[in-house]
Structures are given as structure tokens and as C-alpha cells.
Structure 1
Amino acid sequence: MAFPPQFLDELRARLTLSDIVGKRLRLIRAGREFKAPCPFHNEKTPSFYVNDSKGFFHCFGCGAHGDVVGFVMRHDNLGFVEAVELLSGEAGLQVPRANPEELRRIERQRSLYDLVEAACRFFEERLRRPEGRVALDYLMRRGVTEDEIVRFRLGYAPADRMVLRSHLLKTGFTEDDAVEAGVLRRPDGGGDAYSFFRDRVLFPVQDRRGRVVAFGGRILDGDGPKYLNSADNPLFHKGRLLYNMSRARAAAGDGKPVIVAEGYMDVIALVRAGFEGAVAPLGTALTETQILELWKLSPPGRRVPILCFDGDAAGRRAAFRAVERVLPHLVPDQTVRVAFLPEGQDPDDLVRTAGAPAMQEVLDRARPLSDVLWDMEAQSRALDTPEDRAGFEAALEERVRLIADRTVQAHYRNEIRQRLREAFQARRSPSGGGGAGAGGEGRAGSFRSGPAPLAVSAPDARSSVSYAEFKPRPFRGRPVSLLPQPREVRVTRRAMPALKENRERVLLALLLNHPSLFDEVAEQAVFASSSEGRYQGIWRAVVSALTHDSLLDAQSLYSHLCDLGFSGSLEELLGAGLFDHPRFAGPQATPEEARRCWDHVWAWALREHLEAELEEARNALARDLSEANVLRLQGVKGELEGLKTGSSDPDFDGR
């Protein structure tokens, strides 16, 4: 029987090898590992070692080696299927029963893995040929060593459009598979497929298990984007993986920090300098899914990856965007720190010019998330009046409300309030400089406690904002309170659209029946869990479970919630009639149908929220005919007009 690879990955991830082995052998702690006399040959001195972070056992006496499934097979004298079924029970997973269609899909996926691996070997080999000399010279100029070329499997994509296609067809692969895997591309007008990457240095991208699934290519000459990355395909989703992820997991297990850089060469340079936990996103800004993956790399209690950004204005804007994505997912003992490099340098430059000590100094100066959060609001604000200071405090409070975990949120709120008290007290005291006219102390950045502020060149606050500068962003599945607006016309809004009870039931039931939705709707689910509603307890439990383990299936999630005491509420929540309307996707719906239903219900809630905001804005304008209120009304109108609910049924209002 064949099991889906994703199921086996999840099984291994849920089980701790030392727990399974420890039920059969008496293990002794040996540093970060465990040891015992080998059960597979007679010995008196322990030579059998178990390494949880790397997920394997090894005997230095007889050479026995394997993972948790292999150990149970060998120790308990079981077949592969029997061992998987036994361990699935211990992990709380339901063993999937693959149908013929699923088996065909698994076999096709295996074929695609083989094809991408064959393409990777082809690129590696071409780097050593005369045609790849220019690529090899480029790598050498950048300080890449021969060992690193081999370790990271760097290669060269020839300029010839058809040579890879010919090679793959001769090897036995089909053109259709090569196109689906993203290594070939069909011309728009028809004809034979040609190489997607041409005349580029190639950086293979590996999945969590170390299998090559995609490539990043740097151009060497001519026109085109500097870096080109594989498109999403059945093996690869660029928003979910990180470059060097499989090696970083092992490094984090050995106690080394996880460091997030911006590019492939940065990662290679950091690893060369001894920072083996380095990773990078794949041509995009850091996504929420990648942030959750970062925390999974490190053992519990050490989940504090360091996000490295350039020291210029663009780097700081990228840092602020990352902080916005991180905030909703903070839980106890799970955060990030932010490090800024010297302006004009990236990790590759710094390591090559100043060495590992300079990079270590940057990492040692990494700042807590709370410091960066303060700077996000403080960098361009004036604090000359009580109204200014009240606005600053309200903006910080709005940020803190994004944190879903109530305990973490409370600690952030306490720290922010303490900083505000100290900052404003220093402003009023004679030793604090005496007011806005002394040394520019009318700026928020001048009043802070704790570490020194970011060196940001802040623009002067404007006294007014034109409507052209206040064009609302289109709704993209996020509550409007997250859409940045100019400080002068900031609209105070609730944390999320109010959900009618039946809509809340539908959204929560969709997440229970289709947990795979969570990666795409996590931000909305976090906001729903923070609202005061009938199902708040279940919301918070679901978000907590899927945040820590986004691969949970519906049965495992349901069992987990029952164990927490929600069985009665779940029966009521999932009762009859919930999915009677054809717009509501039931438990048998496809992932695409479930996502469409989610977007549909959420959009209706958001539209009602905006309509209420519009009424408030009209009333405010009637009371005070000011420019700020005019802009507020125009802004809400623009957002409401731009919102598409996804429903054209006149007899359906989302209830």
C-alpha cells in the first residue's frame, strides 16, 4: 500500500523519535542526543545514538540507521504498512486509504520529483563545461568556494533554448511533465516547449526533506529580470518554502540561530561564515506561511528567528511589513528579533569584507519586536499637543490589538503603556529638554525608553492631505483596519467586521471541515478568534491548533477540540441546516469551493461593516464640516464602491 508523501511527512513531524525508542529501550541523555546499547547486535558499551533534531538513529557498532518508521519496523519485526499504522495510532493520525485516483496522483508526483532531480543534475554538469565557464567565473568572483558549489548544487542553464528539452526526452521524461514541473515553457503561439531558464546561474530550491523542487536563476548577461524563480507547480509553492530550509532545520536542532536574509547569495555567505541556520524567501516578501514555518524549524522555547534587513529606508519598510505579518501569530515563547545591517551592505557584502565577527555583531544588536513596533508609529509623528500624544497611543493600541494571543497581547500593552509614561514624563520634566523647541524634541522618536531608536530620516508631518494621496487600497481579504491611511485622516475602526451568528457558524465550520484553508485565511481567522462572540472559545482553540500545526486534517482537529472539552459545542455548531443554502460549501466540498464560500461570506460581513462606517462618517461630517471628515467620508465611499461581494443573487444576503 502506498501512503501519500504528505501523510508520512506529517507522521514523522508529529512523533519524537526518542519517545518512540524510549518505550522500547532505556535511553541515556548524551548532550543533545540519547544513547543506549544497540538492540540490533550484542554489545555492552552503548554505541546506539538517537538524534531528535535530525530525526534518525544510528549505531556506530553495526551501522544500523533509519528514521522512526525504520526503527519500529526493525525492532518490532513489522512490515512498512504495519509500522505506519501502529505509529499513526500513537500520533493521533487517521491512516489514509488511497483510492486509485490518489495512487495515480502519487505516482505522477514521484515522476515529477525524478524529473526535477534530473534537470538539477543536468545544470550541475553544464556548469563544468566550457559553455558554463562564465557562470563559474561569476561564482568565484562572488567568493563561492568549490565545496559550496557542490553543497548547494549550483549549476548553469545554457543559453540554448532546446538543449534541456532534448536531454529530458532522451532520458525518458515527457514534454508535458517538464512543462508542469516548470523547467520547460510552451510558446504562446504553439510549438515545442523550450527552457524556462537560459544563460543563468541556477540555485536549486529544496523542500523540507531535501528534495529539489524548483530553481532560482540569476541572469549573467542581456535583458530580463535579475533573478527569475520557478513558477508554482504541483511540487512547489514559493510562499511556503524557504531557501536552505532543510539544512537550517538541522542547524536549529543543534542550537544555532535561524537567520532570515533576503537572497540566495546571502544565505551561502552566511553558511560559509558559520551561520548554518540561514534561510531566505524565494523572490517575494516574507509571507505569513513562511513565518509559521520559521517557528517550526526551531525546538520549543528557542523559537526566536532573526530577520535581517538592509539598513536603508527600503529595508526598514520591509521590516515594518514583516512585523505586521508576525503580530497576529505571536504566542508565549514564540517571537522574532529584527537586525539591521549597515546601510548599503547585505550579509554577503558584510561577510566578505569584514568577516563573521562583523555579522555576529549585527545579530547581537537584533532588536525585540516591541522596539520595532514602537518605531513603526514613532518615526514621523509630532508630539507637540495632547491630541498628538493621544493619537500616538491609539495607533500603538491598534497595532497591539492585532496580537491574537491574549496573554502576549496583555504583556505588549503593559510594556507600551510603561514606555509612554516614561517618554511623556521625560518630556514634561526639566531634565527632559523642556519642550518641542529643544533639539527637535517635538518628534515621537525623541521620546522613548529602552534601546536607541532606529536611525530613520523621517519626513516632516504634513498639515493636510489631498484626496489623491488618500486613495484607498482594494480589499484583498483583510479587514479594513489593516489598510494604512494617512495619520491626519485615520479612521478608527473595530478590529474586524462584525459577524452575524450564522455567518460565524459557516466560517468556523468551513475551517473545521477544511483545515487546509488556514494557510490562506489565517489573518481573517485570527481576527475572528479575537472577537466577542458565541463561538470565541472554539475559534481560539482552532487558530491555536492550526498555527502550531497547519497540516492537521479535519478528523485530527475535531478530536483535538473534543479533548479540550468542546464536543457539545461542536455538535451544535455543525448541526443540520448549516449548509442548506447552495452558496454554502459543505464538508464534501473541494478546497476551491470552500475558499469561494469563505470569501463570499467574509465579503458580505465587510460590506455591512463599511456601510455602518459610512453612516458614522456622514454623521461626523454633519457635525463638523472639516477637511478631515470630508476625506474620511470619501475614503469609506471609495472602499465600499471598490468592494466586490462575490454574490449577485438578489434573494441572498449572506445571512
Structure 2
Amino acid sequence: MSLPPGFLDELRNRLSLTDVVGRKVMWDQRKSNAGKGDMWAPCPFHHEKTASFHVNDKDGYYYCFGCHAKGDAITFVRETENVSFMEAIEILAREAGMPIPERDPQAQKQADKRSQLAEINEVANRFFRLNLSQQGGAQARAYLDRRGMKPETRERFEIGYAPPGNALLRALKDQGISVEMAIEAGVVAKPDDGRDPYDFYRDRITFPIRDARGRLISFGGRAMDPNARAKYLNGPERLLFDKGAALYNHGPARAGCGKGQVLVVAEGYMDVIAMAEAGFDATVAPLGTAITERQLQLMWRMSDEPVIALDGDKAGLRAAFRLIDLAMPLLQAGKGLRFGILPEGQDPDELIKAKGREAMQEVLDGALPMVALLWRRETEGKVFDSPERRAALDKSLRDAIRPIADPSIKGHYGEILKDMRFELFRGKRSEQQGGGGERRAWTPGKGRFNGGRFGKGPAVPTEGLKASLIVSGDETQADLMREAVVLAVLVKNPGLALDFLSQLEALQPRTEDHAALLHALLTHAEVEDADELHEKILNDVGRGPLDRLLSHPHVQITPPVRKPDREVAQMCLTEELAKLKARRGYKAELDEGLVDLLAAEDEKVTWRLRQAAEARNKATKAEAEDKTEFDTAENGLELSRDERDAFRALLNRIAPEGQK
């Protein structure tokens, strides 16, 4: 809505900024000079003890020397009341006695009708509240007493009681309100079969539902009859009420957020009331349905990161899981959700009554980010003991975050989920490789133990083993070249990383450049445009590592790098990753065997050496075309000279006398 020229200036001139601000602060009388309109107070926007918040009433301007908040009367109302610009104008205009400029005639007619409907609801609300206090409301009062709702809380939330029959309809007629307007307001219903109109709320405790501006737009009703068709009932959707675009306790919660409280989203009316009684004023609830997109947008207007505190049962978790899918396409930088998981079988009302405010505060303090709940949804109760199941998890995670529109947010989600996936599968590998007894961890290539104690095997000097711990320079260089080829093929053929995720995550690059490039490729695995992928990698790792990778002659002659082709690239990656896995499997087996050799009994040695030999055979068969200079043992095992000498030294040291 556009305002006529001069309206805002007139509004500011009619108001005293000191009066507007004075409703929210306590002036420091020693520093302030009311006669000159020079006022000081502790800042309402951040917690402090000194008076650093300055109001210049003459200029109509405020400024905080602590947090640097600044603005005029309109800005102050917007920030402290957490309202929109036009809502702030309406608040100040009412205070200044200025009428808001009229809109076009049709819009004005609709606005007038809404005001009439809201007034009818106010009449109904007074009727309900009166009935709660009379004899007919004794059963309802007893129920509220059992729920622990204090009389002052009933007044604060305007709790009422709708008696059986059509008492409200008669009362509205007595005040000259037509049946048609009562039906439009939602407090009277008319059957489709032509029967007479009747009270919409009958024998129910009533909860007024107000919008952010305080207009009474509908009611919620809690049935007193345990056999009622619906335990809770919201008013019908009409001109004034759209339950998918409204929140219970919206106005007070918005004011609480303006004071710095976190916005909490509970499930029902009684949860909101219990939270407010415990001091959590910034609490809202959807109106009997799953949270809608419009409600989510209303929440984000109040708070950047609302905490969803749904019941700790399966239904509450299912609602939270559905909300994840709703929120994904709407995520923006700084706008997210957290989830407070309540103890199973308890809602906020029950938790507060059982364990007090502190227990609820712990739930809010421990609220999980949405990515953690997404991971729980996709993994809880599932077993990933096969490549097919792990691939299914990869697909479900990609599908879940695909709707995120913001590329930066999507990238961070992918990165965090990749780390969680790595931890999950690494943990499983550790369990599989575990077993009884205490073992020592060997760091390949480091030449040291990471802890543990030596066993009872024969004491074998380590000097004789040094040769076997050395990977020849030719083999190290071959590994680096294979890594480079793999990375370059992925850079030039975007989208292929998704087909090799598990192998790539287990790659363990040998250089920092390769590690950085691999991390970037996995982060942007879904990118399918070559130029876009190239740009994202440059942003992540810089030009140096990428230029060094692509400029190497061995990389440049690789067919799918020289001329990108998805099918050829898949074949190349399959081959190179298999060779790397075979060689590194052999090396890991050899290192583990050497560790056991220091601690094990003699009879274990030959078994471990045989395992190393078999692993070596697999590695050398896969890379026969890449041979350098090898010797061949009698059993067909191809050994480098360093390895041959090392094995010979080991066998000479451990063989019994007479068999050397």
C-alpha cells in the first residue's frame, strides 16, 4: 500500500520519540535532560548495565553507542515489536490519532467486513469467558485445574467455555448480529442438508486465536466429552481465518522474539500455554495441521532459527521428518531450523510439569540442526552391510538435499553429510577389523607405532626390518600418477564422481594438493557442467593445485582428459582405482604383518607373509603393464629388489636352525 506524500512526516511530527521509546526502557535520570529532549537509557536491543542508548527527541532519532542500533520511531517499533513496516505505521498512527489513508473502495469494503467479523468473534469470546466462570462451566474449570492451569493464566489466554446447545446463537441474535454474519465469522455453522444453523462450538473449552495484529480471527475448542468425534476443533476457514497462514500465540511470541527469546514451535494450545507459564513467551503452535509453507515464513519473520519442539513420540518425529522436506526448498543463508527432541512419550506441557523449566531449557539448548535430523531419518534402524544398501543411502541423501535452491547451502549440506557417511562406514570397518585382544595401530609410511603394548612373541630387533618398510621411489611415483589421472578425469568429466563415491572417499591422497582437489570434487559431485565445476574447484582450492594437476604430461595424454568422454572416463576410473586399491591393500597387509611379527608367536609369521604375498600378487597382476625392474621368486611372486632383500632378511631371522 502506498502512503500519500507527507503522511510519514506528519506522523513523525505528531509523535514524541521519547514517549515511544519510554514504553520499553528505563531512563537514566542522571544523564538525561528531559527539557532538551536529550535522553539516555540502557539499550533495549542488547543486554547492558550502563546507559549507552541515546534518544534525540528534537531530531526524532536514536542511536546506541554499544551495539550501534539506530533509527526513528517507526524503526524502533518495527524492531521492538517485531512487526512489518505497515504494521508499525498502523500502531503509531493509532497512538497519534491519525487515520490510515483509505485504500480503494473494494479493499476498504473487505477491510470493514473483516473488522465486523473480528468484532463478532470478540462478542463470542466474552460469552465463552462468562460461561467458564458460571455454574455450567464447573466441569471445564475442574479439567483446567487438573491440568494445572492457574486462574491468572486463564485470564491471560482468555480461556472460555462453549456450553452445549445453541446458547451462543441466541445471544448473538439478542445483540442484533445476523445469522449470516455469525456463520461468516465461524462461530455458527449451517448444515448442507438445509437444517437450522447451530453453534459451531458446543461443550468445549475455547482458546481464542488472534493474528499478529491482535484481531480475534477464530477459536480452538477442546471437547469435554471423551467420545467426541474430534478432541480438538478449529474454526472453519472463512474470510477472516486461514488456518494454514496463522499461528496460535503469534502476537505475544513475536514480542518475545523482539526481546531476544528464541522462537519455539510446539504442537498444541496447552503446550504453548505451559511454555508461556514457564517463561518461554516466544512459543507458537500450528493450528491442528502439519506446519505449512506460509507458517514457516511467518516463523522466519520472527526468528532466523526457530526450534521445533514436537512431541517425543513416533508421530512427533514423523511430523519433524515431513517438515524437513517442506523446508529444504525454502532455506536461505541465515534462515534455518533446529529440532528439540523431547523425551519419548512427553510433550512440553508434561515435561515441564514433571521436571520443571530447566528440563525444557535443556531440550532447547540441545536442539539439533536440520542436517542432523535428516541424517537420522535416512539412517536410523537401517543396516548398510552391502554396496547396494550403501548406494541406496547415497541416493536418498542426494535426493533429500536436491531441492535446496541456494548452492552454498546445498554445498555445505553435502559436505557435512559426506563427513557423517565417512564416520558411519569407517566405524563399521573398525568393528569388522577389530576382534579380541589389544592391538597396536600402525601408521603406514611413518615408521612408528601409535600405542599399545608388545605381545609375548620373540624379541626381534627392528633394524633388520627397515628395508621392508620402504616403498620404492618408482612405486610411489606410480601411485601419485594414478591419483593425478583419477582427479583429472573427474575434473574433465563432471558428474562422474557420483558413480565412484565409496572408492573416492577411501582414496587417501598422498599429497596436500591431491587431498584438496579430491575434497572439492566430492563437495561438488552433483555439478554436471564442466565450466561450473572448474569455477567451483578454483574457488575452493585456488589456481595452483589445479594448474599443476592438469599440466603434467602423463595427465595430458590420458584419453578422457584430452577428449572428455563419459564411457571412456568410466573405464579409466574403474581401472586406475582398482590398481590403487590393490597396491595399497598389499602395502597395508605387509605393514600389518610386520607389526604382528614383532609381537606374535613364530607360527603366525608364515601365515602373515603368505597374506602379504597374495595381496602383492593381486597388485602386480593388475599393473603388469606398468612393471619396472622386478625379480621373480620361485613361487611366482614378483618382488622389487628392496622387498626381496627385506623378506630374505626376515626369513633368515625367524627360520629355525638347520633350515636357513
Aligned pairs for 1:549-588 within 5 A: none
Residues 192 and 409 of structure 1: CA distance in aligned 2, closer, same or farther (over 3 Å): same
CA distance in 2, matches of 1:158, 1:144: 20
In structure 2, what is the equivalent of residue 127 of structure 1?
132
Deviation at 1:422, TM superposition (A): 2.8
Residues 228 and 532 of structure 1: CA distance in aligned 2, closer, same or farther (over 3 Å): farther
Deviation at 1:400, TM superposition (A): 1.2
Deviation at 1:69, TM superposition (A): 5.4
Work out which of the residue numbers 178, 198, 202 in structure 2 matches 1:198.
202
In structure 2, what is the equivalent of residue 31 of structure 1?
43
Match status 1:98 vs 2:110:
no
Task: Give secondary structure in 2 for the equivalent of 1:209.
Answer: coil
* Equivalent pair of 2:40/2:54 in contact (CA under 8 Å): yes
Match status 1:355 vs 2:360:
no
Task: Give secondary structure in 1 for the equivalent of 2:335.
Answer: coil
Deviation at 1:126, TM superposition (A): 0.9
Deviation at 1:344, TM superposition (A): 1.3
Deviation at 1:367, TM superposition (A): 0.9
* Equivalent pair of 1:330/1:403 in contact (CA under 8 Å): yes
Work out which of the residue numbers 176, 184, 202 in structure 2 matches 1:180.
184
* Equivalent pair of 1:2/1:98 in contact (CA under 8 Å): no
Task: Give secondary structure in 1 for the equivalent of 2:79.
Answer: coil
CA distance in 1, matches of 2:309, 2:203: 30
* Aligned-partner residue type, residue 138 of structure 2: R
| 1:526-575, Cα deviation, whole Å (9 max, x unpaired) | xxxx9999xxxxxxxxxxxxxxxxxxxxxxxxxxxxxxxxxxxxxxxxxx
In structure 2, what is the equivalent of residue 53 of structure 1?
79
Work out which of the residue numbers 198, 211, 222 in structure 2 matches 1:218.
222
Residues 369 and 27 of structure 1: CA distance in aligned 2, closer, same or farther (over 3 Å): farther
Task: Give secondary structure in 1 for the equivalent of 2:247.
Answer: coil
Between stretches 233-242 and 380-389, larger displacement belongs to 380-389
* Aligned-partner residue type, residue 328 of structure 1: P
CA RMSD of superposed structures (Å): 3.7
CA distance in 1, matches of 2:81, 2:209: 21
* Equivalent pair of 2:81/2:258 in contact (CA under 8 Å): no
Deviation at 1:105, TM superposition (A): 2.3
CA distance in 2, matches of 1:72, 1:234: 25
CA distance in 1, matches of 2:121, 2:218: 7
CA distance in 1, matches of 2:355, 2:141: 24
CA distance in 1, matches of 2:432, 2:335: 38
* Equivalent pair of 1:2/1:103 in contact (CA under 8 Å): no
Deviation at 1:72, TM superposition (A): 7.6
In structure 2, what is the equivalent of residue 227 of structure 1?
232
Deviation at 1:28, TM superposition (A): 6.7
CA distance in 2, matches of 1:279, 1:228: 17
Q: Percent identity?
A: 39
Q: TM-score, normalised by structure 1?
A: 0.55
* Aligned-partner residue type, residue 98 of structure 1: D
* Aligned-partner residue type, residue 36 of structure 1: V
Aligned pairs for 1:195-594 within 5 A: 195-221=199-225, 222-298=227-303, 303-429=304-430, 433=434
Deviation at 1:429, TM superposition (A): 3.6
Residues 433 and 324 of structure 1: CA distance in aligned 2, closer, same or farther (over 3 Å): farther
* Alignment length (residue pairs): 391
* Aligned-partner residue type, residue 315 of structure 2: A
Aligned pairs for 1:83-162 within 5 A: 97-99=103-105, 101-161=106-166
CA distance in 2, matches of 1:430, 1:336: 34
Task: Give secondary structure in 2 for the equivalent of 1:317.
Answer: helix
Q: Which structure's residues are more often helix, by fraction?
A: 2
* Equivalent pair of 2:38/2:57 in contact (CA under 8 Å): no
Deviation at 1:70, TM superposition (A): 6.6
* Aligned-partner residue type, residue 220 of structure 2: G
Unaligned runs of 5+ in 2: 22-36, 46-52, 61-71, 437-497, 499-525, 530-660
In structure 1, what is the equivalent of residue 483 of structure 2?
none
Residues 197 and 531 of structure 1: CA distance in aligned 2, closer, same or farther (over 3 Å): farther
* Equivalent pair of 1:269/1:347 in contact (CA under 8 Å): yes
| 1:21-49, Cα deviation, whole Å (9 max, x unpaired) | 9xxx99978422555254599xxxxxx98
* Equivalent pair of 2:299/2:306 in contact (CA under 8 Å): yes
Task: Give secondary structure in 2 for the equivalent of 1:218.
Answer: strand
CA distance in 2, matches of 1:185, 1:168: 13
Residues 55 and 315 of structure 1: CA distance in aligned 2, closer, same or farther (over 3 Å): closer
CA distance in 2, matches of 1:149, 1:80: 34
| 1:137-178, Cα deviation, whole Å (9 max, x unpaired) | 1111111111111110000001122x1111111212110000
Residues 279 and 179 of structure 1: CA distance in aligned 2, closer, same or farther (over 3 Å): same
Deviation at 1:187, TM superposition (A): 3.2
CA distance in 1, matches of 2:344, 2:39: 50
Residues 422 and 343 of structure 1: CA distance in aligned 2, closer, same or farther (over 3 Å): closer
In structure 1, what is the equivalent of residue 168 of structure 2?
164
| 1:283-302, Cα deviation, whole Å (9 max, x unpaired) | 1111121111111112xxxx
Residues 362 and 385 of structure 1: CA distance in aligned 2, closer, same or farther (over 3 Å): same
| 1:399-425, Cα deviation, whole Å (9 max, x unpaired) | 111211111111111111122223223
* Equivalent pair of 1:267/1:278 in contact (CA under 8 Å): yes
* Equivalent pair of 1:204/1:214 in contact (CA under 8 Å): yes
Residues 434 and 109 of structure 1: CA distance in aligned 2, closer, same or farther (over 3 Å): farther
* Equivalent pair of 2:305/2:335 in contact (CA under 8 Å): yes
Residues 417 and 531 of structure 1: CA distance in aligned 2, closer, same or farther (over 3 Å): closer
Larger Rg: 2
Residues 79 and 372 of structure 1: CA distance in aligned 2, closer, same or farther (over 3 Å): closer
Deviation at 1:80, TM superposition (A): 4.0
CA distance in 1, matches of 2:346, 2:427: 35
Deviation at 1:362, TM superposition (A): 1.5
In structure 2, what is the equivalent of residue 505 of structure 1?
none
